[in-house]
Amino acid sequence: MTDTTRLWREPERTGFPRVAPVPQAGFDPRADPTNWQTQPIPAVQTATTARPSQPPRPAGMYVMAAAGVVLVLYSYLVALWPVRHGFTPDVVLATREWLSFPLGVGADFGLFGIGLLLAAGGFWACDRLTQPGLGRGRLLWQVVARGYLPYVLACTLSYLLLLGNAEPFTEPRRPDPEPGTLPLNLLLAERLAGHDSLIGLGWAVAAAFLTAVLIALTAPLLTRSRWLALTGLAVQLVVISAVVLTAAGAGGWYHKLGELTTWCMFALVGQLAWVVRRHPGSGWPAGPIGVGCLAVFVAAEHGYQLLAEQWLPVTLLFVALVVLLAARAPAHGGKADSNRVVRWLGSRAYPAVLLACALGYPLVGGLYYAKLPFGFAVLIAIAVTLALAEAVHRLSVVIAR
**The dihedral of CA 112, 118, 121, 127: what is its sign?**
negative
> Rounded to an integer, what distance in angstroms lies between the CA atom of residue 61 and that of residue 110?
18
Asked whether the predicted pLDDT for residue 55 surpasses 50, the reply is no
In a domain, 361, yes or no: yes
Domain annotation covers residue 49:
no
CA torsion, ordered 201, 322, 314, 101, to nearest 10 deg? 80
The pLDDT assigned to 28 comes to: 55
Amino acid at site 362: P
In a domain? residue 16: no
Each residue's pLDDT tens digit, 85-115: 999 999 999 999 999 989 888 779 999 999 9
Which pLDDT score is estimated for 308? Answer: 83
Over 50: is that where the pLDDT of 48 sits? no
Q: Structural domain of residue 98, as residue ranges?
A: 61-400
Q: What residues have CB less than 8 Å from 91, skipping those under 6 apart?
A: 78
Position 52 scores a pLDDT of 40
DSSP readout, 194-214?
Answer: TPPBSSTTHHHHHHHHHHHHH
pLDDT class of 45 with cuts at 50, 70, 90:
very low
Residue 330 pLDDT level (bands cut at 50, 70, 90): low
Indicate whether 54 pLDDT > 50: no
Lowest mean pLDDT among 15-29, 36-50, 89-103, 154-168: 36-50
User: What average pLDDT is seen over the chain?
Assistant: 84
Tell me how crowded residue 301 is: count the other CB atoms within 10 A of its CB.
Answer: 17
The pLDDT of 213-241, averaged and rounded, is: 93
299 falls within a domain? yes
| Contact between 100 and 109 (Cβ < 8 Å) | yes
User: Would 251 be classed as within a structural domain?
Assistant: yes
Domain count, the chain: 1
In the predicted structure, residue 49 carries a pLDDT above the cut 50: no
pLDDT at 53 over 80: no
Q: Write down the pTM of the prediction.
A: 0.83
Evaluate whether 220 touches 213 at the Cβ level (below 8 Å).
Answer: no
Asked whether the predicted pLDDT for residue 40 surpasses 70, the reply is no
Residues 6 or more apart in contact with residue 134 via CB below 8 angstroms: 128
7 is a domain residue: no
Q: Is the pLDDT of residue 335 over 80?
A: no
> Is 47 inside any structural domain?
no
173 inside domain: yes
